[in-house]
Amino acid sequence: MGMAYIMVDIESDGPIPGDYSMISFGAVLVEEQLDNIFYGKLRPISNKFIPNALAVSGYTREETLSFDDPKQVMADFNSWIDKICKDRPVFISDNNGFDWMFICWYFHHFIGTNPFGFSSQNLGSLYKGLEKDMLKTFKHLRKAKHTHNPVDDAKGNAEALLTMKQDMRLKIKF
């Protein structure tokens, strides 16, 4: 049995957690069918937001105020991870510096622990290493349209990882 790679994408209303809020996130277990997904929409935790950042999510501030309690969403995400993982889950995303920062902060703030531990993987850096070229991008490997719906975006990134495994002979076990 390999590791459980979970591709994550988040949308926020600002650059950092705590001062700003994670508005939504999507996660998909990386496997051939990509049908094991989690989607969370979280009520803001702060009065601060940057309109241009929020606009990327496709939601208005008024809409986000009716989203789910962040503590409950993170508890549900933790339960979903427990259910789908037989081994340690591995967090991977397109931009793990950004996505990880929010997920890690929200897990520790609301749940007291992070099921992913203390590390994450970066899909873009993995592709650059496979190509041995720091100027390369993997984004052409996505099949799903990049819509800024975090589930769509996580699926597209998972498709890219599957293509790296199949076409570029990346050694990875799911």
Q: How far apart are alpha carbons 44 and 167 in whole angstroms?
A: 41
Residue 91: what are its φ and ψ, rounded to 5°? Answer: -80, 130
| CA distance to 114, 161, 162, 171, per residue, from 174 (Å) | 21, 11, 10, 10
Q: Which of 102, 35, 98, 94 is nearest to 74 (CA)?
A: 102
Residue 5: what are its φ and ψ, rounded to 5°? Answer: -85, 125
Q: How far apart are alpha carbons 68 and 92 in whole angstroms?
A: 24
Question: Which of 108, 140, 146, 148 is the catalytic position?
Answer: 148
148 counts as catalytic: yes
Q: Using the 8-state DSSP alphabet, how is residue 19 labeled?
A: T
Q: Which residues are part of the catalytic machinery? A: 148
